[in-house]
Chains A and B, each alone.
Chain A
Amino acid sequence: MAGFFLFLGDDMVEFALGLVFSTSGPYAALGQAARAGAELAIADLAAEGLAQITPVHRDPGGRPEAYEAATEEILRTGVSHVVGAITSWSRKDMIPVLERHGGLLWYPCPYEGFESNDHVVYMGAAPNHHMIPLVDRMLAHGVRRVYLLGSNYVWGWETLRLARERLGAAGVEIVGERHLPLGDTDCSRALAEIAATGADAVVNSLIGPSNTAFMRGLPRKGRPAVLSCNQTEADLDVLGPFAEGLIAAGSFFEALGSAGFVARGGAAAPNGRCSGFLATTYASVRVLAEAVKRAGTTAPKVVFEAACAAPHESVLGRLDLDPVTRHAALTPHIAQVREGRFALLSSAPGPIPADPYLIDLPPVPAQSAKTPSLRIVT
């Protein structure tokens, strides 16, 4: 399938690109950020004379059952590339359609790993980029009692399973675990359990309104450390002061971007912030356009090979794609919200190949030698 492809002179390619992002519904803030990144990349590519991309938008409204039809509508018209899906739930619903039509999804979000589909390019962080470094940081800081909280679908299940296994292997007590339905804002039981168990940290894999309700429900003073692999600048305005102190793992934070890109990204985003979702989607569209140009076609298999053939200079830094795992090598970063902005706490020295099946897990680090926290038992 190579519909809608034209070479415009020596330097410019023209093709249509599906953008399937929920810009309404329970996780609209993330979809809006990602779509803004795609639109900014499309505008930049046109302005630079590199590509003329016609976006074909669909908004599934955060309804899982709508993704399949939205993707089908786009691919049936001969478009072969789609950038989109925020949740793994939606990505998994899109895959059978992509397989039927021979399409390729450029997926720009962090996800839980354990997937390597021939119709997907995984541009976001894999677990060895997010949860593993995040857990290892917790262990290095002597965490003892951890509560796990996530949205009730595969992202929450798998990220928290990984945290539970790795923290448990280091002897950390998991004092509770709860999964909330997507969109549920009743966090009272989780909040009560966290208070009752005296957790010193919460691993938070909630998304959307559930996350907002939880972060707003936590007492601002004396709250346990809250750590997340999915929170970015896209979440900050809705959380306001309740985000203060939140620690997040990710492959991009505003502090890492060039001033120019962060300013333009912020101007393009509805919440005025240049988030990891925006930057990764921006990078995805650019890598795709460069690969289409190099390949001289939009045929997905050839484009993917071209994308893997050479590294890309991107807003995420140097970006290599692995032709076997189909994942981007990314630099893991950990940042903390301070006065409404993510301040970097640590970064890996450089890009790390994604390890979606965790075949090369680093050994569980020894706990710090801090005195164990003791509880008064009455």
Chain B
Amino acid sequence: MTYSFAGRQARVLHPSAEMRDRLVRRLASLGIRAEGRWPALDPQDTSADLLVIDIDRGESGQFPWAAGAAPMPVVGLVGSETPGRLQWAIDQGVDALLPTGAMANLFSALVYASARHAERTERQRTEAEASRRNGMRLDLIRAVIALMQAEGIGDAAALKRLRALAMVERLPLEDAAQRYLSDISALRGRA
């Protein structure tokens, strides 16, 4: 696919005004409107689509989010290759590295960072979903028991009925269980 960053907003967090300007111009050539920042991002910068940071001089307190939780793709400019700085970049969740001498390859870094950020976001979403469903296990057990009692069927058959309900309603199994429990609760209320 052809990646296009046209119309995106970026922030450049770098101590050098000259470097900020160069990056802003480079980003503009890719259709990206960028603003430079130093010594820290503004709280409203959470809405930016892309972020370029300096790994050599970056500090943990410069971002309005927790380490590793950047809400956008992050490209890290790398000059010094000291293990400590690289570890800091890893902790910050930098999605792609760009050597300071390779500014001509900014597009590659943005494409790579965008793909990695999309993976990161998807992974966080699936982990959050798994955690939410894990928290509903008790309701699943309750629904299976309620179905066994109401229909006079075994546990496997009750679970099968719940799966069928989930499929018809296009819901995760745990949500279907909650739906069943709330439906029978409503029926009892009306009775």
User: Closest residue to B3 on the A side, CB-wise?
Assistant: A357
Cβ of B106 to closest chain A Cβ, rounded Å: 9
Within 8 A of A (CB), among B76-111: 103-104, 107
B32's nearest neighbour on chain A, judged by CB, is A359
Against B, the Cβ 8 Å flags (1 = close, 0 = not) of A313-335 are 00000000000110000000000
- The answer to whether A309 has its CB under 8 Å from any CB of chain B is no
Q: Is the CB of B107 within 8 A of A114?
A: yes
Q: In the bound complex, do residue A358 and residue B25 qualify as a contact, i.e. CB atoms below 8 Å apart?
A: no
Q: Which residues in window 11-44 of B have CB below 8 A to A?
A: 25-26, 28-31
Across the interface, do B2 and A325 meet the contact criterion of CB distance under 8 Å?
no
User: Is A117 in contact with B104, judged by CB distance below 8 angstroms?
Assistant: yes
Q: Is A165 an interface residue (CB 8 A)?
A: yes
The number of chain A residues with a CB under 8 A from chain B is 15
A206 to B105, CA, bound (A): 27
Question: What are the interface flags for A61-95 relative to B under an 8 Å C-beta threshold, 1 for contact and 0 otherwise?
Answer: 00000000000000000000000000000000000
Q: Contact between B26 and A324 (Cβ–Cβ < 8 Å)?
A: yes
Contact of B6 with A by CB under 8 A: yes
A361–B4 touching, CB < 8 Å: yes
A133 vs B2: C-alpha distance in the bound complex, in angstroms? Answer: 17
A351 to chain B, nearest CB (A): 18
Which residue on B lies nearest to A327, using beta carbons? Answer: B29
Q: How far is the CB of B115 from chain A (nearest CB, A)?
A: 16
Known A116-B104, A357-B107; judge A162-B29 contact (CB<8 A): no
Tell whether B1 is near chain A: CB-to-CB under 8 Å.
Answer: yes
Residues on A with beta carbons closer than 8 Å to the beta carbon of B30 = 357, 359
Residues of A within 8 A of B31 (CB): 357, 359-360
List chain A residues, Cβ under 8 A from B29.
116, 324-325, 357
Bound form: Cα–Cα A359–B32 in Å? 9
Interface residue? A39 (CB, 8 A): no
Given contacts A114-B107, A117-B104, A360 and B26 within 8 Å (CB-CB): no
Q: Which chain B residue shows the least CB distance to A162?
A: B2
B22 to nearest A CB, angstroms?
Answer: 10
Neighbouring B residues of A114 by C-beta, 8 Å? 107
- Complex Cα spacing A280 to B55, Å: 42
Rounded to whole angstroms, the CA-CA distance of A344 and B10 in the bound complex is 43
Question: CB within 8 Å of B: which of A246-296?
Answer: none
Q: A324-B28, A324-B29 are in contact. Are A359 and B1 (CB under 8 A)?
A: no
Interface readout for A341-374 with B: 1 if CB under 8 Å, 0 if not?
0000000000000000111110000000000000
In the complex, whether B63 has a CB less than 8 A from a CB of chain A is no
- Complex: chain A residue closest to B5, CB-CB: A359
| Nearest CB in chain B: distance from A52 CB, A | 33
A360–B1 contact, CB under 8 A?
A: no
Q: A165 contacts B4, CB within 8 Å?
A: no
Q: Which of A114, A115, A116, A361 has the most CB of B within 10 A?
A: A116
Q: Is A200 an interface residue (CB 8 A)?
A: no
The reply to whether the CB of A235 lies closer than 8 angstroms to some CB of chain B is no
Q: Say yes or no for A233: interface residue by CB 8 A criterion.
A: no
Residues 109-138 of A, flagged 1 when their CB comes within 8 A of B and 0 if not, give: 000001111100000000000000000000
Chain B residues with CB under 8 Å of A115's CB are: 104
Contact, CB under 8 Å: B4 / A358: yes
Chain A residues near B104 (CB-CB < 8 A): 115-118
Instruction: For the complex, give the distance between the alpha carbons of A357 and B6 in Å.
Output: 10
Q: Mark B114-140, 1 if CB is under 8 A from A, else 0.
A: 000000000000000000000000000
Q: Given A117-B104, A118-B104: A359 and B25 within 8 A (CB)? A: no
* Contact surface of B with A, Cβ cutoff 8 Å: 1-2, 4-6, 25-26, 28-31, 103-104, 107
The 9 listed contacts between A and B (C-beta, < 8 Å) are A116-B29, A118-B103, A324-B25, A324-B28, A357-B29, A359-B5, A359-B31, A360-B6, A361-B2
Additional pairs, 20, CB under 8 Å, beyond known A357-B31, A359-B31: A115-B104, A116-B29, A116-B104, A116-B107, A118-B103, A161-B2, A162-B2, A165-B1, A324-B25, A324-B26, A325-B29, A357-B4, A357-B107, A358-B2, A358-B4, A359-B4, A359-B6, A360-B6, A360-B31, A361-B2
Q: Which residues of A contact B (CB under 8 A)?
A: 114-118, 161-162, 165, 324-325, 357-361
